[in-house]
Chain A
Amino acid sequence: MTDLDQFRADTRAWLEAHCPPEMRQPVRGEKDICWGGRRAEYRPGQKEWLDAMASRGWTVPDWPVQYGGGGLSPAETKILREEMARLGARNPLNSFGISMLGPALLKYGTEEQKLEHLPAIARGEIRWCQGYSEPNAGSDLAGLAASAESDGDDYIVNGQKVWTSYADKADWIFCLVRTSKESKQGGISFVLFDMESPGVSTKPILLISGYSPFCETFMDNVRVPKRNRVHDENKGWDVAKYLLGHEREMISGMGLGAGGANPLIEGAIATIGLNDRGELADPMLRSAIAMFEVRARAFSAMSERFIDELKAGRAHPAQPSMMKYVGTELNKARHELMMAAGGSGALEWESEASNGGAAARAWLRTKANSIEGGTSEVQLNIIAKRILELPGA
């Protein structure tokens, strides 16, 4: 037995022993996702699962041990994910701290910043949000205007952010601010502050899904210590771009759907039924789903390849843009098909039978996938210029 075989056997046994039965059920809605944080409301099993995984550093298996990680190699990390999928184990902790800020701090943070923030992220104690977009800085993100004026050892931050995901539930924010007007990209700094700081306020934005996952965030003379700036002053764009790559990876994962069960196929069979040849009784929808599934399964292989290449340092630096583009477009297509497969039942918005309109609301939510984190068109621009090296306009 090789060391990796032994690791797989040990991991399988540990997961079997420690994953609570509730955490082996598929995620059915937003409330089944554990985000952690100071004000987290845990469902049965969530906290136990989070603490068990965090005790081994397995909420962030490939981070170094001293920052709360598991110190696992790429091969071990892959085995852990495979064994979790085999058991149907839920992700113990969903977190912008893990998927976005963490990698940026590991690359650009000081030792003091890493030790202050990374272990708290790994344990799910602090929930983070991202202050990037502004009312007049969307696709043209570097045009942002929120200002940070120097005041001794502090910055005084003023301005407005928009589309701040879960700002009303987050404990801290990583935020892009303008520290110089001399240069567009070269005048941006990357700062961290507590959402309870005086002068910070948030206002949820009601979306077409009927939910408010995003907020407007207002900063009115917020005092931020300069030691909370990540990387050099006016070098925040480097951090922002690096982090956007990780955000795109995370969003592209949406194209994968859930492991194991396939709600699209199961839903279609439940609503429409099979004919006497065992085929979905709606032949046009059957072929649409079947062709979609080819793309979804091919993309699943692409995700595996992308992660393997990324861990080995072999991925093109702009490849996250390709993943984000394909993954989000697929996710939108999947939900269009799920609505078609659900028929009129999937249109219900409030009933108990529809789980509060879960299908319709999830479908509408996916429409943001190809806008947030850089639109599909921005990703295509990046692929054209940085990978295909086509000339500038």
Chain B
Amino acid sequence: MPLYLTEEQTMLADTARDFVAEHAPVSHLRALRDANDATGFSRDLWRQFADMGFTGILVPEAQGGLGLGHVEAGVVMEEIGRNLSPSPFLATAVAAVEALKGTAHADRWFPRIVAGEAVAALAIDETPKFTNAISLRAERAGNGFRLSGTKRFVQHAHVADLMIVAARTSEASANNGEGLTLFAIDRESAFPDTDPRRLADASIASCVNFDNFEVDADAVIGEVDGGGAVLGRLLAAGRTAASAELLGVGGGAMDMTVAYLKQRKQFGVPIGSFQALQHRAAHLYAELEVARAAVLKAQQLLDASDEHADGAVAVAKAMTGLATGLAVQEGIQMHGGIGMTDEYDIGFYMKRHRVLAETFGDAGFQADALARAAGY
């Protein structure tokens, strides 16, 4: 399969680009932030995503979705990134859908997700810096399980309808996928305590406290002690989507910056005519092009269930973290003083990059995983 978008994918990208730019440009994020909005995103916008069919991209056709793949989900993610649109798309329509696909929970949740009526939260992280460690305990109790422990950095947890929780059900070695079980928790039954905190990028993530929290056995996703595979699917999908979003963030920052270089004049000429700035911009372009290829490669391999997909996903997450990190830093530097002002949008790009770079493991985490897989 050639490493570029097909005609159908390009059409979807054009649709997504126009839609997101019209309905959720950066001013939408700014308005939510300035209003100190307690939800963190617009539910109306989420239902519009459903009307456009975006929420069902990864849901099988038999369950009311479009039955498409990670390339298609990625083109929507990229536009979310380019416009910094606050959205539950990544957690809900990508990561949760991939975790629930083929399990008993799909019938209950997929129609609500497709309709834009359900939002999911992913309770995975426990350490202040992302690791593979999962120590939140799930003990058998009566007809179900009792969960104890704390999750952190859980986006949308305070408003989510569905929470996917990774827990330890047996003491295998502590740092791999064995002995894990994933649970799907429905707010309509019972929900754990959340402690929402606003982050630098104005998004809201919670600490979630499970204090002998009881769930039924039918909340288990897949098999008890078999959660490693489910978590693997969730993380691969989530990292790939985060990579695509980062690509949009980096592309948006670069476009703003290049436009500014052409418009801003000093010494009587556009500052973009100075070779010192031209070379920085050209280097940035190259980094983002390489990152774009890495993302598409990961999406295609994931869609093909290729054995090399995990490696490609790690490369994509690491490379987009690096390239977009450069884009936002060069963005502010090349804008000069105006780039430091809250009134100007480039700072939002820098903040969003930082959150996404940390999500599901940063470039260093991914590089370490790749090194381990390569035997060094």
Contact = CB atoms under 8 A, between A and B. Distances in A.
B367 A290 contact: yes
Given A308-B4, A322-B289, A380-B279, A301 B315 contact: yes
Interface residues of A, number: 48
A288 to B, nearest CB: 10
A298 B294 contact: yes
B371 A298 contact: no
B296 A305 contact: yes
A268 B375 CA distance: 11
Contacts of A391: 262, 269-270, 272-273
B322 interface: yes
Contacts of B319: 294-295, 298
Interface string B251-262: 000000010011
Classify the interface of chain B: helix, strand, loop or mixed.
Answer: helix
A274 B376 CA distance: 7
A257 B366 CA distance: 21
Contact of A390 (B278, B291, B311): B278
A390 B375 contact: no
A174 interface: no
A314 B10 CA distance: 13
Contacts of A74: 2
Interface string B133-153: 000000000000000000000
A74 B314 CA distance: 29
Contact of A380 (B282, B289, B318): B282
A151 interface: no
Contacts of B168: none
Contacts of B312: 297, 301
Chain A CB count within 10 A is highest, among B258, B273, B282, B318, for B282
Contact of B371 (A279, A301, A380, A390): A279
Contacts of A312: 2, 4
Given A298-B319, A301-B293, A326-B290, A293 B371 contact: yes
B297 interface: yes
Interface string A75-105: 0000000000000000000000000000000
Given A290-B371, A301-B3, A392 B285 contact: no
B29 interface: no
B234 to A, nearest CB: 22
Given A299-B290, A322-B286, A383-B282, A304 B275 contact: no
Interface of B: 2-4, 258, 261-262, 269-270, 272-275, 277-279, 281-283, 285-286, 289-294, 296-297, 311-312, 314-316, 318-319, 322, 363-364, 366-368, 370-372, 374-376
Interface of A: 74, 262, 265, 268-269, 274, 278-280, 286-287, 289-291, 293-295, 297-299, 301-302, 304-306, 308-309, 311-312, 314, 319, 322, 325-326, 377, 379-381, 383-385, 387-393
